[in-house]
Amino acid sequence: GAPDGTRLAFESLVDKHLELFVRDLATGSTERLTENKDEDWAPAWAPDGARIAFASNRGDNTAIYILDLSTRQTVRVTTDPGDDINPNWGSDGRVYFNSNRSGVWEIYAVGPDGSGLTKLTETPAKGK
C-alpha cells in the first residue's frame, strides 16, 4: 500500500495479461494505471507515495519502470538485455532490484531517473 495507507497498488489479470491498478481504500474506487499487451510490478510504492516502480516485459526483456502518479507518465529506468525484476524503493530514494544481467542473479540499485546504477552483490558464476 501507499506510505500513507490510503491507497493500494496491485496487479490483476486483464485479457490474459497483468496490468497495474490502484484502489482508494476510503472510497473503494479503482483506477487502471497501465494498459498494454505485456506483463506489468509487482508494484512498489515510492516513500513519498507519488511514484510506483514495477517490472514489465513491455520492451525486449523484463525491465524496471517508474510510473509518476501525478502525470501518469511511465519511464524505463533499466535498459540492460538481462531481466530486471522485483523492484523495491530504498530510504535513499533509489530503486533496488534483482537482475541476471551478469549471468547470475544479483542485487542492483538505480536512481529513479535511471542514473547511478550500482551492483551490490557478487555471486560466483555457476561451476566456479
Burial of 102 (0-12, 13-18, 19+ CB in 10 A): middle
DSSP per residue over 66-85, as a string? EEETTT--EEE----SS-EE
41 pLDDT band (50/70/90 cuts)? confident
Q: How far apart are CA 39 and CA 42, in angstroms?
A: 10
CA 5 to chain centre: 19
Is pLDDT above 90 for 17?
no
Q: How far apart are CA 59 and CA 18, in angstroms?
A: 15
Residue for grid cell 496491485:
10
Q: Residue 5: its pLDDT value, please?
A: 72
Nearest to 64 by CA among 37, 36, 41: 41
**pLDDT, tens digit, for every residue of 65-81?**
999 989 989 999 999 99
Is the separation of the CB atoms in 58 and 64 below 8 Å? no
